[in-house]
Amino acid sequence: MTTSSSSSSRSRRSVYGVPTKCWCGKGLIIWASETKENPFRRFYRCEIALQRKSESHLFKWEDEAILDEIKMVDAKISDIVHDFQSLSKSVIEQLDSHKNWMMSLESDLMSKLNEHFEKQNQAVDEANRQPIVPGHNFAAAVAIVGTIAWMYWKFL
């Protein structure tokens, strides 16, 4: 009696992995096949299916169900590995872009600091040079005398 082979192809289309319930709602039991083609091969089937053989109930070989489960776990693992790889790639890219940004910020800051110090040095140089020029002192003296004269006329 080949209960299995005919329903096997049908169940393979509708159920993937280890089945938990039959289409009729009954729980599944693991039976051992007694056919010549599949001696002692274990399969899932509900009790009603064995009583009413004309009805269509779920059938699934146990080894195929377990193989499905292993494939699903494998697919999940490869999904996780893929997710992890793309995540670590994006983290590395972000870190790289942050590093580039920091480096450009640093070089900007350094060039601004250099500019600032150069200006300061120039100002110091000019300030050091100026007192040597006699005209400068004279002009300052004239300004001070002028201010004093103005205050003298204003308040007296």
Q: Is 57 in the site for Zn ion (CB under 5 A)?
A: yes
Report whether 32 contacts 40 (CB < 8 A): yes
With contacts defined by CB under 5 A, how many residues of the chain interact with Zn ion?
A: 7
Stretch that binds Zn ion, among 27-35, 53-61, 75-83, 91-99 (CB under 5 A): 53-61
CB 66 within 8 A of CB 76: no
CB contact at 8 A, 43 and 31 = yes
Cβ proximity to Zn ion, 7 vs 33, nearer residue: 7
Binding mask 72-111 for Zn ion (x = CB under 5 A): ----------------------------------------
Contact segment (CB under 5 A) with Zn ion among 57-65, 74-82, 90-98, 130-138 equals 57-65
| Residue among 15, 22, 28, 65 that touches Zn ion (CB under 5 A) | 22
> Among 12, 26, 41, 42, which residue sits at the site for Zn ion (rule: CB under 5 A)?
26
- State the nearest-atom distance from the C-beta of 57 to Zn ion, in Å: 3
* Biggest distance spanned by C-alpha atoms of the chain: 136
* CA distances from residue 116 to 63, 107, 113, 119 in whole angstroms, order as listed: 78, 14, 5, 5
* Number of other residues whose CB lies within 10 A of the CB of residue 112: 10
* Spatial distance between the Cα atoms of 125 and 139, rounded to a whole number of angstroms: 20
Binding site for Zn ion (CB under 5 A): 22, 24, 26, 46, 48-49, 57
